[in-house]
Structure 1
Amino acid sequence: MARARSVLTWRPPAPADVPLASERARAVLADPQGFGNYMTYRDAYRILGWDPADVYRDGAIALDRAEWADLGWMANHIGPSPRALDAMRGAVDAEHVGPYSPDLDEPLRDLMATRLLGRARDDGFDVIGTEGAQAGVGYAALACIDPGDEVIVTDPGYFHFVPALRLAGGVPVWVDLAASSGWRLDPDAVAAALTPRTKMIVVCDPVNPFGTVQRRDELDALLALSEEHGIVILADTTHSSHRVDPAARHHPVADVQRGRPGATLLVSSGLAHGHGMAGARIGALGGDPALVRACLQVKIAAVRLNTNRVAQVGAAAALVDDAWLRGGEEVIRGNLARLRAIATPVIDPSYGFSCVVDVSGTGASAQELTVALCARHIAVYPGDGLGDVGATTTIRVNLSDPDPSALERLAGAWDDACAEAASGVYREAVRDLFLSYGTARGRRIADVVAAGTGR
């Protein structure tokens, strides 16, 4: 009998192998940030000669943290508030499970607005429920973008913005993030990238992967571009729950938009990252009431169903458990301090639970180091999935595990893993992986890896 295999072991088919697929599906299959088209540790398993089914047992998609230090996958290892779990247990009854659920019940809609999105509902701002922040991004893209419309996104940036935009027919236009701009989106660079085809600007704040936050004046400048040019600002504020730097301040873009009523804003967030409820699949999309309702109509057309009622009860409890969030911040700060003692340089985050480590000084590519760490049961993400900037010189590290053994395992393995990666033992296999993608970008990264400099 064949063993169950995890979806994380799949590779996407080549567009040519799916002749009846739509152009939208072909665009997603071919996109470097589409699922399966960037290197992750599931590729490292193959390079190490492991069967992924031995790692992801019984079709699971999470690593066993008793055996692994999972510093890669963006699940919040702190977990959900006990108050949220208790509330959901109490809601597992016929009243909550049997009927179709509302989009959001009204008390939760208000909580989502104020606690998650940063602005109370009013004549200029309303909220709908979504199946996590990513669903909000997808509905916004489908509701706003026509084929050929240009969308400004950051490089590097969150893995799954661009595939959602391509699914709607959008054309991504990248604006690089750099140390010179504090690893934030520079409004002047955005203005320089505008064309008559620009329809949307994606603002991820706090920035994934860096955990940096936009200044209030920068948000206002981006909203001014929306006013002046008739452009939609699509903001994702998923990582705004945990403040890592006590001196930092996140400015909810929905609140800033009060001073720019002519700007068009949609803002998406969820309870996966800040509240440890990824499996509950619940979030919210807020903004201009008419446009938000258009997004709801798109959602109804696509999936018809609403966020589940048990998750809504849990979300309501989680959103008011401030003590649980503050405890999580202490975990993240402690792990960041441990990481700084292991690997440098670290780009310090202001918010969120992840950060970026510059590994250009190791003498190996981020991808070779990923394999070497995987061999030691330590998972990290290399930079190529996040964009071209830092593709072979950075790794993203999850700081949310409350078990100190995760960072202890990294500390014990770091020097040996760096030396093994720099030896070139994995170089040919990593190069061949990127050549197998059959893309110009894959060939560029393969050339960098083959050169043996890591950059």
Structure 2
Amino acid sequence: MSSVLTWTDAPQPAPGIRSRRLKALQASHHAMWNYVTYRDAIGLLDLDPETLYPGGTTRLPEGWTDLGWLTCFCGPPESAVQAMRDAVSADTLNQYTPDLIEPLRDEAARVLGRPRDATFEVIGTEGAQAGIALSLLASIDPGDEVIVTDPGYFHVPSAVIAAGGRPVPVPAGPADGYRLDPEAVARAVGPRTRALCLVDPSNPYGTVLEPDELAAIAELADRHDVLVIHDVTHGPLAIDADSPFTPLPATGLTDRAVATFSVSHCWGMAGARLGFLAGPRPLMRGCLQLKTALTRLNTNLIAQHGALAALRDAPYVERSERSIRANLAHLQETLAAMPALRLPVAPRHGLSCAVEIEPDSTTAQELMVALFARRVAVYPGDGLGESIASTTIRLNLSQPAAAAMEHLRAVLPEALEEAASGRWQGPVADLLERKGTERALRIARIVRGRA
């Protein structure tokens, strides 16, 4: 039997009581089902979901090249797995857990570049997404505005909407080096602006704000009394070894900033559901009070021991960086022979990159399905912003086996040719029209307009 959470094609609005924030979320492009996903490709290709995901798992089986999910496929570190095995005991399972064990709190602060003291504290969250959500709940009221980037991480606008706020997108495109321009942020600030969600390094581009840009953001925060939520989840993996990585709270430039990251992406531990939120002590206490009011429970103690081992495992990070750099070089060689595809900017941190598609050739959604038919999974840009919705796919560069990028190189020309032929034009447009959101309908018109 299909799960209502995973396989329903066109979910109906929840019956009975619905809050305004739920209605807003369900009407937006950012709720579940409203961007083209693996499950959509599985349906269009008439594949068997039970074969691909036995028992409801989310990992594609052997023989597939998964370049979509953003977890580091070099991970998890063996040190983390062993630490979690060692932590499994009756005592650890038969207790309510601490928010974070003290050594882990200190280690997270080290990653963020600022030791804990009377002005700076770290709390535990269920991934960086929970850190963003708690920060928003603590800083905005219904109707307040939150500046986000376009393109950007697709769960940020949904968190703003769920907190009762209104996301205000600011472009980050080629004119700005695919980074957020502080002057554009200043122009977007209005009387109801209360926060700025800054994903840095960028998802999907892997670009990083320069020190002077961070300083300008800090000055804006102080001048307009805006909280900067600095999501630095991809920062610990350096693709460009000379690229700086500085969470805003570590600079000391403003007290109106928090930083969040997790072990999900860079350490390949998405299943551990463990992240960190750090900032001024009074605000962290408030976020912890909100978390307690909502869920009462703290982060898993066994996962904490695994995260502690992972954050201390410098050799693992170095191995991951080598794999990502090698895969990026391989991809650049592949794209050099394909004029319809290009890398708009080389990533400097993290594990992802964006590939742009020549608009006259095909759309990201059609190419995604054609690649999936050849056992290569990627994500199209429709979840990452309005500006790149139909023209960009995102790739995960962390697969450690060379066969993954070789497989992509082998099938990409054929997949691009099939997508450009119009083979998936009708089915993809129909799918998007069933989704019904403004963005989905706009992309459907683009897809049909190629005829």
Q: Is the pair's TM-score, using the shorter chain for normalization, greater than 0.5?
A: yes
* SS at structure 2 position matched to 1:61: coil
Partner of 2:253 in structure 1? 259
Partner of 2:338 in structure 1? none
Partner of 2:57 in structure 1? 60
Distance (whole Å) between structure 1 residues aligned to residue 200 and residue 212 of structure 2: 13
Partner of 2:11 in structure 1? 13
Contact 1:235–1:268 (8 Å) recurs in 2: yes
Q: Deviations over 1:209-268 (max 9, x none)?
A: 100000111111111111111111111000011100122111221112x133xx411211
Matched, 1:246 2:241: yes
Partner of 2:121 in structure 1? 126
Distance (whole Å) between structure 2 residues aligned to residue 57 and residue 362 of structure 1: 38
Distance (whole Å) between structure 1 residues aligned to residue 346 and residue 329 of structure 2: 10
What TM-score results when the alignment is normalised by the length of structure 1?
Answer: 0.95
Distance (whole Å) between structure 2 residues aligned to residue 58 and residue 23 of structure 1: 35
Contact 1:8–1:61 (8 Å) recurs in 2: no
Partner of 1:425 in structure 2? 423
Distance (whole Å) between structure 2 residues aligned to residue 437 and residue 131 of structure 1: 29
Q: Following TM superposition, by how much is the alpha carbon of 1:376 offset from its aligned partner in structure 2, in angstroms?
A: 0.5
Contact 1:151–1:198 (8 Å) recurs in 2: yes
* SS at structure 2 position matched to 1:9: coil
Partner of 1:363 in structure 2? 361
Distance (whole Å) between structure 2 residues aligned to residue 21 and residue 259 of structure 1: 42
Q: Following TM superposition, by how much is the alpha carbon of 1:330 offset from its aligned partner in structure 2, in angstroms?
A: 0.4
Which residue, 45, 48, 56 being the options, matches 2:45?
Answer: 48
Q: Following TM superposition, by how much is the alpha carbon of 1:443 offset from its aligned partner in structure 2, in angstroms?
A: 1.8
Distance (whole Å) between structure 2 residues aligned to residue 429 and residue 157 of structure 1: 27
Partner of 2:26 in structure 1? 29
Q: Which residues in structure 2 correspond to 1:124-273 (within 5 Å)? A: 124-256=119-251, 258-260=252-254, 263-273=255-265
Partner of 1:409 in structure 2? 407
Q: Which residues in structure 2 correspond to 1:261-410 (within 5 Å)? A: 263-343=255-335, 344-346=341-343, 347-360=345-358, 363-410=361-408
Which residue, 436, 440, 443 being the options, matches 1:442?
Answer: 440
Runs of 5+ unmatched residues, structure 2: 336-340
* SS at structure 2 position matched to 1:259: coil
Distance (whole Å) between structure 1 residues aligned to residue 9 and residue 292 of structure 2: 30
* SS at structure 2 position matched to 1:120: coil
* SS at structure 2 position matched to 1:173: strand
Q: Deviations over 1:95-131 (max 9, x none)?
A: 222111100111211111112x221112221111111
The code of the aligned residue for 1:372 comes to A
| Closer/same/farther in 2, CA of residues 293 and 10 from structure 1, 3 Å limit | farther
The code of the aligned residue for 1:273 comes to H
Which residue, 72, 79, 82 being the options, matches 2:78?
Answer: 82
Contact 2:365–2:428 (8 Å) recurs in 1: yes
Distance (whole Å) between structure 2 residues aligned to residue 375 and residue 200 of structure 1: 41
* SS at structure 2 position matched to 1:141: helix
| Closer/same/farther in 2, CA of residues 315 and 385 from structure 1, 3 Å limit | same
Number of corresponding residues: 445
Q: Deviations over 1:28-55 (max 9, x none)?
A: 2222122211011221111112233332
The code of the aligned residue for 1:436 comes to R
What TM-score results when the alignment is normalised by the length of structure 2?
Answer: 0.96
Please, what is the CA RMSD of the aligned residues? Answer: 1.5
Distance (whole Å) between structure 2 residues aligned to residue 105 and residue 10 of structure 1: 40
The code of the aligned residue for 2:96 comes to Y
Distance (whole Å) between structure 1 residues aligned to residue 10 and residue 359 of structure 2: 33
Residue identity (%): 45
* SS at structure 1 position matched to 2:29: coil
Contact 1:6–1:60 (8 Å) recurs in 2: no
Distance (whole Å) between structure 2 residues aligned to residue 362 and residue 48 of structure 1: 24
Contact 1:146–1:170 (8 Å) recurs in 2: yes
Partner of 1:99 in structure 2? 95
* SS at structure 2 position matched to 1:203: strand
The code of the aligned residue for 1:120 comes to P
Contact 1:365–1:452 (8 Å) recurs in 2: no
Contact 1:76–1:400 (8 Å) recurs in 2: yes
